[in-house]
Structure 1
Amino acid sequence: MTETDVWVFHGAGSRFTSGVFTSRPQAEEFISQYQLSGILTKYPLGISAYDWAQQQGIFQPTKPEQYSTGFIQRFTSASQEHYHYEDGKCE
C-alpha cells in the first residue's frame, strides 16, 4: 500500500461504508473488535475505481452503457485487493 491508498470496510448487507482506514491491520482491529462480517477493499485516493481500473489496463469500456452514470457510480473491480470477513475473521 502507498500513502495514496486507504482500506474501506463495507458491512454485509450495507449500502454505505462503515469505516475507512489507513492500514489493513487498523481495519482488521475494528472488524475483529466488533466481530463484523463484510468486505475490506483497498482503494486509491483521488481517483475513482472506474478510472483506476482503466489506467491499470484492467477494464476498458466497450459498450455504450459502460459510459453511463449508473454504471460508473456502481463500478467496482475484483482486481482491487480485497478480503472477506465473517464474524470478525478473514475467510
Structure 2
Amino acid sequence: MKEVWVFNGAEGRFPSAVFDARADAQRWIAKNALTGVLTKYPVGISVYEWAIENGQFSAKNEQQKSSAFIQKFSSAAQEHVHFENGIAE
C-alpha cells in the first residue's frame, strides 16, 4: 500500500506538508526547527477503513458508523513522530 507522511504543525488547523519519504520530511522539519506531529497515512483508503481492515478499530455502535464520526476519525495506531523545535521526541 502506498503511504505518505503528513506534517501538522503545533496549533495548525491544516497540514503544512506532505512527503512520500519519511527521511525527506524529517530533514525539512529539522531544517526549519518545527514543532508538531509527522504521521504516516495510507493513500487511496480512509484512515477509518484502514483501521478497521487492520484490526485497529471496530465500530461499537451506530454513532461510530456515522458521517460525523468518520470525518473526524484518526487512529493512534498510525505510525507518528512528535517534534519539538525540529527534534524528534
Q: 1:24 aligns with which of 22, 29, 39?
A: 22
Normalised TM-score (structure 1): 0.93
Q: Deviations over 1:6-42 (max 9, x none)?
A: 0000001111010000111100111111110000000
Counterpart in 2 of 1:76? 74
Indicate the SS of the match to 1:62.
coil
**Runs in 1 of length 4+ with deviation above 4 angstroms?**
none
Q: Which runs of 5+ in 1 are unaligned?
A: none
Q: Deviations over 1:20-69 (max 9, x none)?
A: 00111100111111110000000110000000000001101012211111
Normalised TM-score (structure 2): 0.95
Counterpart in 2 of 1:15? 13
Q: Which runs of 5+ in 2 are unaligned?
A: none
- The alignment yields a C-alpha RMSD, in angstroms, of 0.9
Count, aligned residues: 89
% identity of equivalent residues: 49
